[in-house]
Amino acid sequence: MADTIKQRYISGTSLWTDPLKYGTEMFEVFDKPYADPVPLPLVNSAWPLATIIALYLLFVLKLGGQLMARHEALQLRGVLKVYNIVQVLYNTVMLIWGIHLIFVARPYNLSCMTVLPQDHPMKSTERTLSYVYHLNKVLDLMDTVFFVLRKKQRQITFLHVFHHVFMAVTTHMLIRFYGHGGHVYFICMFNVLVHIVMYGYYYASSQSRNLQESLWWKKYLTLTQLVQFLLMFLHCAYTGLQPNCNASRGVIYLICTMSAFMFVMFTNFYISTYIRPKKGRSKGKAQ
């Protein structure tokens, strides 16, 4: 991808001088072979995920609301219990597996984690773990579908939808152009840990309304996510500062930018959800 941009710069092609040619050359990057030669379902072509994302957005932003307008909200209590348990177990397995790979098998230099070569004995493990992580990001889209079916429209925020779509698309693109694993692994472990706590909370809150109201630690889920994005940013920044590290600079810049953006978005969510309402109640009591 970087080579394509460099060639375009040398040739003098730009968005302003020849927008049609520029756009055509931009898409030439998708003609490049996949970074990992092993084809896997959902990641050996962009079309399956693109179709899933398109159907997801169509349902959660339009068709789902129209459908549920004619029906009562579905409780889905049993379905959600199973779904949340599956998510907790799924993420727990990934966390244990990832910790074992990074800290026990230790195929990486932790200060500069690069994608393992194809002939490395741990390559199949790296590939499989990366792949199941991507599948989990696709599975996460069901969160929003359940919100629609339960008529929880207030929870279908821009941040929620953007985050889910971004994670599914980004993990696919990283596998497509960067390959499986590398320093992305380390930051994925932060995300997996947060999801274990998050879906554990969802499971506990689904038991009953009284229990849901008694779970005082809901707001700390958002704080945990903020810590996650901060650690992701710091890890990528640290990797990028290593003078002899050949980890992809494009991936480092992408994750640093994404982490900073998500940190700002989740901070805004935390303030608007947990701080401003409290100030409003305090003013009301004072009056």
Question: Domain spans of the chain?
Answer: 1-32, 52-286
Look at residues 98, 80, 86 and name the one whose alpha carbon lies nearest to residue 193. 98
Separation CA 206–CA 96 (nearest Å): 26
Tens-level pLDDT at each residue, the chain (287 residues): 444 444 544 454 444 555 555 445 544 555 677 788 888 998 888 899 999 999 999 999 999 999 998 889 998 889 999 999 999 999 999 999 999 998 999 898 888 888 889 999 999 999 999 999 999 999 999 999 999 999 988 889 898 999 999 999 999 998 988 888 887 877 888 899 999 998 988 888 777 666 656 556 677 788 888 988 998 898 888 888 888 888 888 888 888 888 899 899 889 888 887 776 655 555 545 44
Q: What is the pLDDT of residue 19?
A: 56
Element (H, E) at 65: helix 64-68
The whole-angstrom separation of Cα 160 and Cα 61 is 12
Strand-pairing partners, residue 112, are 109
pTM over 0.75: yes
Q: Which residues pair with 109 in a beta bridge?
A: 112
Q: Tokens for 13, please give them.
A: 């092609």
Please, which contacts does 229-238 make with residues 24 or more away whose CB atoms are closer than 8 Å? 229/259, 229/260, 229/262, 229/263, 229/266, 230/259, 230/263, 231/187, 231/190, 232/187, 232/190, 232/191, 232/259, 233/259, 233/260, 233/263, 235/183, 235/186, 235/187, 236/183, 236/187, 238/111
Residue 189 in contact with residue 103, Cβ under 8 Å? no
Residues 6+ apart with CB under 8 A from 65: 148, 153
pLDDT at 5 (0 to 100) = 46
Residues 89 and 223: their CA atoms lie apart, in Å, by 22
Residues 6+ apart with CB under 8 A from 130: 175, 180, 181, 184, 185
d(CA 5, CA 14) in angstroms, rounded, equals 10
- Looking at residue 10, its pLDDT comes to 46
Count of Cβ atoms closer than 10 Å to residue 142 Cβ:
16
Tell me which DSSP letter residue 126 carries: H
Residue tagged 């995920």 (tokens) = 49
